[in-house]
Structure 1
Amino acid sequence: MDLLELSQTDSFNTTDTLWILISAALVFFMQAGFKVLETGLVKSEHRSGIGIKNLMDWVAGSLAFFIIGFGLMFGTSAGGFIGTSFFFGNDLEPGYPLVFFIFQLAFAGTALTIVSGAMSGRTALAPYFIASLFTAVLIYPIFGHWAWGNLLNEDNQPWLAGLGFMDFAGSTVVHSVGAWVGLVGIWMVGPRLGRFTSKGTLIPVKASDYAYSVLGVMILWLGWWGFNGGSALAFDTSVPLIILNTNLAAAGACFSAYLHAKIFQKNQDLIEKIIGGSLTGLVAITACCNVVSPISSLIIGLLAGVIHNISYIIISEKWKLDDPVGAIPVHGFGGVFGTLCVALFGKEEFLMHGRGTQLVVQIFGIIVCFVFTVGVSYLIFMLIKSTIGLRLSPNEEVDGAIFGAQVQSMELDELPEQTVSQVSVRVGERAYNLFKVDEYLNLPRETRINLIKNEGVQYLDDSGNVVPTLKAVRYLSGIIEEQRDKSTSSVDLVELSFYKDKMDVIGNMQDVLLGEEHSITSVFEDSFLLLKPKGKVSSGFYWHGKEKGYNIAIAATSQDPDISSAFITALTISQLNEIVGIKKILAPEKVLEILDQKLTMALGQSKADEEVRKGVEIGMLLVDTVRRRVYYSGSGSGVKLYAKKLDSILTEFKGLDVPLGMSGKAQKKFERVKIDYSKGDAFFLCTEGFPNQLNESGKRYSTTKFRVLLEKGAGKSMADQKINITTELENWKGKEDQTEDILVMGIKP
């Protein structure tokens, strides 16, 4: 009698049906297991994204499988190739058929979830949702019909099952299908940013929470009891054996994966291999858990753990594919091995053919699955990639965006400032007081320093998050704690202006503040920095760094006759560390505005006459490598930006004429220049030192000649450009002493 007719007869078995329904619930609970597993293995920024994709997998699977997929998979067969009934739930009678549908729906969801893990960390939600729909509508149901099309309607004669292909609970039908779709997906979408070097060397990525992933494995392990046990489609004596076999294979695989990784792979990715090995054992036993003995199940598991570890290396290091959660080794290689185990370890009385013939049929089914799934998946992903695209933008990927194009990367003006809003002070073993910032700063300075030394204070931002002490102290500008914080407040820095005669000490301080010239290459790979003081201390100085995806270069100079250049250097750099490094203010014109206020206040405490003081001349270059755009703001004529685009002549950009720190001038209106750039374009931040350098005849080098020098060498690497500029300087001044402090920064973004 047809299983479809059970709901219409007295032979409807409520115990069997209840077991299938419970198993369906366990399989559905595996969705939570996959979510927990995957979110623990990916980077912390991508946890929310993988969780949303797991949810949308179930949404896509539920809708698509109900409307079309179930009918294609289990409907009345057309020539053994495709189902033709049950669309939109039509003709599904109450009782067993509906329970069977729910059970198979949970299976479909599992196949889809495999793909989300493989492609996590860089795939936008919309294209991924479309791919899930096609998988649930076409790939999984059609191949599923070929292998399982007669499970609901015994009159169906699916062609692959008719050949004797055996896959009890879906090592191939579910797991390999999901894996091969994921394999195509990760190949098409490419690796996560920073996963491989330009030479293909694998860069380790820190998982967000291994303990979370282990919890996911345990949830999946439990769910697999329903996955395999429920596939008996009845609660009979085979169920306990199926569950035992499932458990033994997983335990054996976990054990062998651990030993193999520890002994033969030098503990490389040990936790990932323990986790993945367990799951590979579960996947491998899925196809054959009803036809093998417990001892054979244990052997299958032991082999599966080793297979996982080897394939894990093949995927990442040999094939250079970025599989964040190890889905392909687990579900792909594990699925293939499990399907072969039907013939290799199955009891012959339970096989459709003799062992040799059965092995050939199993291999043929594996090949059919691979070719069909990869072929259709390639067409689907190629269509998506050529229309709406597959990836998140680089900024969205780094920030862990979820909804792709719907989440716009923040413009410069929208970037939040990190500030200290309140201060928690410990006044006893378990007693604390909360101070407003101004209240805290009114405490005696020695009291504040002692609190830091005794770890009795915590600085908090607007949301109550702890701000690191070093950042907080710089932000508050007034606390010095030599053992833990080398920063210096603006008030203390003013005192340095009274030690102009101690030039050795001050010169060493400037060297420490500026660091090595070559350090700029850590921010801009193709760049150079040339600083040549005429004496012990340079009037020119620089600052560079990376913040929130932007690369920053700053050149500055001070010609103040009454305040030492080392003092100006220290004061300006400490404020830049606070404004850019701590508050995360990046818009160049905003940085200059705040810096101007800080310098005006600090320099106002010095003894210099306002009419004599020249302030600080500065230029700030901010590079957005994602949009391929440069922003520039400047103040004072002593620093200029020269831009050399490949298709145009050298262009000069000036800032506001008035230097920073001049309180007697009208309020300054700093402007931002925006420049789009292409690969090979060059930018130079320069002081007026080189153009003003004298030769032996007392003649200035001139700005015109300096522009020609920069333009002539702009097509070369920045390392070669530095050599050219240095050589030209030495040739020009000859035996003449250097008359100017020279600062030139060259950058090719």
Structure 2
Amino acid sequence: MNFKFLQKKIPSYLLIGAVVVLLLMLFEPTRSFAQDATGAKTGTINDVPAATAGKPTVSEVGEVAGHNKIAINIMWTLLAGFLVMFMQAGFALVETGFTQKKNVAHTMGMNFMVYAVGMFGFWICGFAFMFGGALNAATLGGAPGVISHEYVVHMFGHDFGLAGSVGFFLNSDVYDVGVFTLFLFQMVFMDTTATIPTGSMAERWSFKSFLIFGFFISMFVYPIYGNWVWGGGWLSQLGANFGLGHGMVDFAGSSVVHMVGGVAALAGAIIIGPRIGKFNADGTTNTIPGHNIPMALLGTFILALGWFGFNPGSTLAGGDFRISIVAVNTMMAGTAGTLAVLILLYIQKKKPDPGMLANGMLAGLVAITAPCAFVNSLSSVIIGAIAGALVVLTIYIMDYKVKIDDPVGAFAVHGVNGAWGVLAVGLFSDGSYGDGWNGVAGPVKGLFYGDASQLGAQSVGALTCLVFVFVVMYAFFKISNKITPIRVKAEDEIAGLDIPEMGVQGYVD
């Protein structure tokens, strides 16, 4: 071989390096490793804390096993909470993409600040009202030493829980790893609720009014209804007290999170009124297109990712094998909602509007959130497909029949399909999961699997959510409008809210 030729073409240091690498490759298989490259020897009996090293007692092994179980559950719940927190970015992108570019900083600003405002409201008293009567979550360690207390009224021979009374400001009485885990997980759930109305009231909502709303919904509305369903309150006890199935069952929040936010969004949209130019004097409707569809679709994908924290995370237990079924059902319902919208658009001889497809996916995800742990995959597809049809129908009714302006379809996605998800529990639950749920023996079954009473409990829960949230939020918006106007000036709305409300432009042209 002509090495002089190679030296002219390849620097000598590269040749030396190549020879070294070749020798290492030849030598590597002959080496014997003293380390544990496979992990088979990592973690032995010597790693179990024991009075006598290497000879733990049964009790000492049991302590470690119990500690590890709770550690896995806490880690899983926290990681799921981190995913749900990331959903806030998804909401921000979806809502901003579906609105006009002159309001980018304003819409993004609301989605950003609701995180901070909502967190402080929930920390002050929201968490206490919601879970102060049921802080002993066994999957998170049972909160040893933490005393829970629920405000109750006694009627018809039964106790009706209304709100918790322990845990204000996460004080020293609840200074506990399990309680703090539950707080973080529930705080990011609450934040989802609080951000939903920012879509229905976008492009005309005063930022100061929005800030007041953020505190109100996080401190009172979300926590109180949440207590009734998840905190041991009266809706959860409809089964134990009145024989209605397992009481109100909502695995991950179709009602507690989405319907509460969606109904609040409806009340706000009615009070604030439509955007200028949305409806004509003759009753016809104008489309006000969003400015950035790629942004909205990216946000939708982020939300779909976050939903794997939302639904599977609601097990609060990394060792609950049902997580896989919950995750697959979540996926299937979301895609079924998307395909249902696509089919409906083609049936109507319309183009496959990406915005409607995105809302179809979100509708399916909202609807499956309550029943995801209790149904099979076929049922999840049916639930998601019906959700897709409902979102198309509801948006049409709001735009062309009742003339309520909801720029991003917040009520159609979260309100209507939150209710549908709750009812779906009472229809499709197949009896394969939920034994002992809300203190009632036996698994959760719906109407199609032999228990009509579960549908009764779900109907009471959905109706209660609708009436309670709408009445309270309608009154709130009326009253808060007296404190500071909820709607911006007409001239500011026409010019764009970025400068008048936020002081900066979202896009600098």
Name the TM tier (shorter chain).
Answer: 0.7 to 0.9
Q: Does residue 360 in structure 1 map to residue 360 in structure 2? A: no
Answer yes or no: is the 8 Å Cα contact 1:119–1:324 preserved in 2: yes
Matches within 5 A, 1:119-518: 119-150=201-232, 158-163=233-238, 164-235=247-318, 236-264=320-348, 266-267=349-350, 270-348=353-431, 350-351=443-444, 355-402=451-498
Amino acid at match of 1:147: V
Structure 2 counterparts to residues 637-656 of structure 1, below 5 A:
none
| CA deviation profile, 1:4-46 (whole Å, cap 9, x unmatched) | xx9xx84761111111001000000000000011111001111
Partners of 2:363 and 2:413 within 8 A in 1: yes
What is the total number of aligned residue pairs between the two structures? 396
Is the 1:125–1:404 contact (alpha carbons within 8 Å) kept by the matching residues of 2? no
**Corresponding residue number in structure 2 for 1:33:** 90
Superposed displacement of residue 145, structure 1: 0.3
1:69 equivalent to 2:126? Answer yes
Q: Secondary structure at the match of 1:295?
A: helix
Deviation track 1:103-143 (CA, whole Å, cap 9, x = no partner) reads 00000000001111111000010001111211111110000
TM-score, length basis structure 1: 0.51
Contact kept in structure 1, 2:428 and 2:445, CA below 8 Å: no
| CA shift for structure 1 position 272 | 2.2
Alignment equivalent of 1:108, drawn from 179, 187, 190: 190
Q: Does the 8 A contact of 2:359 with 2:391 survive in 1?
A: yes
Distance 2:481 2:283 in 1: 23
Shifted more, 390-399 versus 290-299: the winner is 390-399
1:404, 1:291 → 2: CA distance?
49
Q: Hey, what's the Cα distance between the residues in 2 that align with 1:321 and 1:252?
A: 27
Contact in 1 for aligned 2:346/2:352 (Cα 8 Å): no
SS of match in other structure, 1:358: helix
Contact map agreement 1:125 1:402 (CA 8 A) in 2: no
- Deviation for aligned residue 1:386: 2.5
Find the aligned partners of 2:483 and 2:268 in 1 and give their Cα distance: 15
Structure 2 unpaired stretches of 5+: 1-62, 133-148, 153-160, 239-246, 433-442
Look up the SS of the partner of 1:325 in the other structure. Answer: coil
Amino acid at match of 1:308: V
* CA distance in structure 2 between the aligned counterparts of 1:38 and 1:464, rounded to whole angstroms: 20
Aligned-pair CA distance for 1:304:
1.2
State the distance in 2 between where 1:71 and 1:400 align.
39
Contact (CA 8 Å) 1:393, 1:404: kept in 2 or not? no
Conserved? CA contact 1:176–1:336, under 8 Å: yes
1:88 to 156, 169, 179: 169
Q: Does the C-alpha gap of structure 1 residues 67 and 345 become closer, same or farther in structure 2, counting only changes over 3 Å? A: same
Aligned to 1:50: 107
Distance 1:405 1:294 in 2: 47
More strand by share: 1
Aligned partners of 1:250 and 1:279 also within 8 Å? yes
Alpha-carbon distance in 1 for matches of 2:502, 2:299: 30
Matched residue type, 1:214 = L
Q: How does 1:561-576 map to 2 (within 5 A)?
A: none
State the alpha-carbon separation in 2 of the partners of residues 299 and 405 from structure 1: 44
Return the alpha-carbon distance in structure 1 between the equivalents of residues 384 and 199 of structure 2: 23
- Higher RCO (C-alpha 8 Å, min separation 6): 2
C-alpha displacement of 1:95 = 1.6
What code does the residue aligned with 2:487 have?
A: R
Deviation at 1:363, TM superposition (A): 0.9
1:38 and 1:117 in contact (8 A); partners too? yes
Shift of the 321–228 alpha-carbon distance from structure 1 to 2, 3 Å rule, reads same
Does the aligned pair in 2 maintain the 1:65–1:136 contact within 8 Å?
yes
The alpha-carbon distance between structure 1 residues 258 and 406, as it changes in their structure 2 partners (threshold 3 A), is closer
What pairs up with 1:639-718 in 2 under 5 angstroms?
none
Computed over aligned residues only, the root mean square deviation of the Cα atoms, in angstroms, reads 2.0
Partner secondary structure for residue 82 of structure 1: strand
Change (3 A) 1:11 1:405: closer
Q: Is the 8 A contact 1:17 1:96 kept in 2?
A: yes
2:417 and 2:191 mapped to 1: Cα distance?
A: 19
Amino acid at match of 2:198: S
**Equivalents in 1 of 2:129, 2:197: separation in Å?**
21
Distance (Å, rounded) in 1 between the aligned partners of 2:359 and 2:334: 10
What is the alpha-carbon distance in structure 1 between the residues aligned to residue 102 and residue 267 of structure 2? 24
Distance 1:204 1:118 in 2: 15
Contact 1:181-1:374 within 8 A present in 2 as well: yes
Tell me how far apart the structure 2 counterparts of residues 234 and 111 of structure 1 sit (CA, whole Å).
Answer: 23
